[in-house]
Amino acid sequence: MPYEGFEDYFEKKMILSVATTGGLHGKEANPNLPTQPDEVAKDLKACEEAGASMVHLHARDENHEDTKDIERFQLLLDAIDDHCDDIIVNFTTGGGGIYSREERIAPVLETEPGPEVATIDVGPMNFGQTRTAINPREMSEEYAERMREAGVKPELELFNQGHIPEMENLIEKGLVDAPYWATVILGMQTGTPPNPRNLVNFVDNLPPETEWQALAVGRYQLPLTTMAITMGGHVRVGMEDNVYYRKGELAESNAQLVRRTARIADELDRPLATTSEAREILGL
């Protein structure tokens, strides 16, 4: 089980990912949320300098609205290339219940040079009152096959433990390669409730050879990502998941959230992985 790796706690490098923008809330939630390519890239440069080795990206249009437009994703890539050194780029394929199956994966396959990593939501999830992202098994299999052909590493997004069998299906069919990269997500609407016991249980049931990172939404980001650090896992923070620095205080930037997590990791004797070390850990 992945949790057995805890014995290597002090030696294991930690991948620190940042999710800069997301596709749901906008500047009405926090005016500091970066939405335009240069805005994202400048914030991301500071995140990289603070220790982030991977960025999870959604694109927004000129009006700050979520988009799957390939050109907008290309503008993000170009801006990151201009401002950052060597951060690993991870594109979302989320957007179920809004975008078509082809629209969701098109930016992964049609940008140049394209991302090194891209997400696959491996099971259903409710959003709000009327939207459900279905994410059927056949779609996960299709995405995994097409990513393999494109040389892109899948990040398997697990919103609850019922999604673990979907991950196991991809492994059993040989559609993803070890080490498997999984994100354990806590606090979403029909996802795993955000408490420490659930995080341990979730991780304890992941397949062998899994490298996992934890994210938690809103006020749960800080305590549960800190717990993941102590468990020997990897961590994702950022304004996609949480727009506050502390109660009543909006985050100034994604870099502010990254710097705090980097300080905590340092105090807990978890060295941060450089980008090249992160690539080695994930087999990129």
pLDDT in tens, the chain (284 residues): 444 556 666 778 999 999 999 999 999 999 999 999 999 999 999 999 999 999 999 999 999 999 999 999 999 999 999 999 999 999 999 999 999 999 999 999 999 999 999 999 999 999 999 999 999 999 999 999 999 999 999 999 999 999 999 999 999 999 999 999 999 999 999 999 999 999 999 999 999 999 999 999 999 999 999 999 999 999 999 999 999 999 999 999 999 999 999 999 999 999 999 999 999 999 99
Distance CA 20, CA 33 (A): 8
Three-state DSSP at 263 gives helix
Q: Residue 273 sits in a domain of what CATH number? A: 3.20.20.70
Number of domains, the chain: 1
Beta-carbon neighbour count of residue 37 at 10 Å? 21
Classify residue 13 as exposed, middle or buried by CB count within 10 Å of its CB (0-12, 13-18, 19+).
Answer: middle
Predicted local distance difference test score (pLDDT) of residue 209: 95
Domain hosting 238: range is 2-282
What's the rounded Cα separation, in Å, for the pair 4 and 193? 23
Amino acid at position 167, single letter? M
The Cα-based distances of 203 to 27, 124, 195, 210 in angstroms read: 33, 19, 13, 9
Q: H helices of the chain, where? A: 37-50, 70-83, 101-110, 137-150, 164-172, 196-204, 221-230, 254-267, 275-282
Residue partners of 109: CB distance under 8 A and separation at least 6: 146, 150
Look up the pTM and report it. Answer: 0.95
